[in-house]
Amino acid sequence: MKVLSYSNTILIPEENHIKPELMKTTIWIFSLVITGASCILAVSCKKKDNNSIPANPVVKTDTVAAITQNTAICGGNVTEQGSSPVISRGVCWSISQNPTISDAITTDGSGTGSFTSNITGLKANTTYYVSAYAINSTGMGHGNQVSFTTAGGTGDDPCSGLISVIDPRDGQVYPVVRIGDQCWLQKNMNFETGTNWCYAYDTSYCNTYGRLYDWHTALGVCPSGWHLPSDEEWTTLTAFLGGEFIAGSKMKSVNGWYFNGNGTNSSGFTALPGGNCYRNELFNGRTSRAYFWSSTETSSINAWNRHLYYNKEDVSRDNYGKTHGFSVRCVKD
């Protein structure tokens, strides 16, 4: 047998050749089988893609919060972009149900993920309907519809029209925010009284995060007309925001948290990671945790509190010793 030579990509000995007619038939059948298999594979893959990827974006609408007579905060979460990238997103609202982008809208960036929308130009004591939207080159996705009623006109506003409060004891100003049927101060208390600390004894941290108080001091630190929230009042807050498992993300500020663990702050609560103090001298958790006292005792030495973490969306409920130093956030009487 001689050295092999190439003929139509098939290695064939120069001696003892296969008949040309048979070889052509064999190659033709082989090519047909390969081509058919490729077509089946391509059609199968294409069919799977069409079934698994929606053409339009998928978006969810957040709870409406920080409601005043003329403004509110909402937003949404684009969970799937669809068949092409999201080029615009936001919320639309109207006094009629099922609002569309032909009504009033916000435009809040592009891409997937959570976003916050500032709704303005509202009328007092009016019910509005709002829905998140997201647009790609194929079409538009709408989120679930939610409704809310602006404050004013009927005495139903828990903040009584307040925008901010001045503490007469030291002149410090605290903005207020309506969340559901409650009215909260939007900043941690920074009034110097009783047993309190600036984180790591650095007064600049008091300006940013407020002071840390032991429980007995926390009971009386709020200005007149305001009080330290009870365990039940904290539960009312987190329930309004969808439950303790997701409320934390809606309460955390949009910046300042460790390792980009920021929240959407769709509630307007604006929780900052002020950390805590332990045994009068040990400080930890700044930029990664926020701790808040409640007025409710669990024993003679412990009390309920709430805390938020940089890497979690929930609000944790626990009881710690009353000598710990935690932040104080006040709710209106």
Averages of pLDDT over runs of 10 residues in the chain (333 residues) are 41 43 44 42 42 84 87 93 95 93 94 94 88 95 92 70 91 94 96 97 97 98 97 96 95 96 94 94 96 98 98 97 98 96
Please report whether residue 81 resides in a domain. yes
Q: In which element (H, E) is residue 320 found?
A: strand 316-321
Please report whether residue 10 resides in a domain. yes
Output the pLDDT for position 124: 82
User: Is 176 found in the same domain as 117?
Assistant: no
Domain count, the chain: 3
User: Is 145 found in the same domain as 243?
Assistant: no
Among the candidates 149, 180, 210, a domain finishes at: 149
User: Is 260 found in the same domain as 208?
Assistant: yes
> What does the block give as tokens for 9?
């990509």
User: Is 170 found in the same domain as 143?
Assistant: no
Between CA 308 and CA 289 the distance in angstroms is 6
User: Is 186 found in the same domain as 81?
Assistant: no
Please report whether residue 154 resides in a domain. no
Output the pLDDT for position 69: 79
Instruction: State the residue range of the domain holding 226.
Output: 164-332
User: Is 212 found in the same domain as 75?
Assistant: no
User: Is 20 found in the same domain as 71?
Assistant: no
Output the pLDDT for position 2: 42
Among the candidates 88, 123, 149, a domain finishes at: 149
Between CA 268 and CA 250 the distance in angstroms is 8
Please report whether residue 155 resides in a domain. no
Q: How far is CA 137 from CA 5, 46, 78, 141, 240, in A?
A: 55, 20, 15, 11, 35
User: Is 173 found in the same domain as 137?
Assistant: no
Please report whether residue 16 resides in a domain. yes
Between CA 197 and CA 238 the distance in angstroms is 27
User: Is 30 found in the same domain as 168?
Assistant: no
Query: What's this model's pTM, rounded to 2 decimal places?
Result: 0.63
Please report whether residue 157 resides in a domain. no
User: Is 63 found in the same domain as 48?
Assistant: no
Please report whether residue 91 resides in a domain. yes
Please report whether residue 22 resides in a domain. yes
**258 in Cβ contact with 288 (< 8 Å):** yes
Between CA 123 and CA 153 the distance in angstroms is 10
For residue 93, give the CATH number of its domain: 2.60.40.10
Among the candidates 14, 35, 52, a domain finishes at: 52
User: Is 185 found in the same domain as 291?
Assistant: yes
User: Is 132 found in the same domain as 172?
Assistant: no
210 phi and psi angles, rounded to 5 deg: 80, 180
**149 in Cβ contact with 101 (< 8 Å):** no
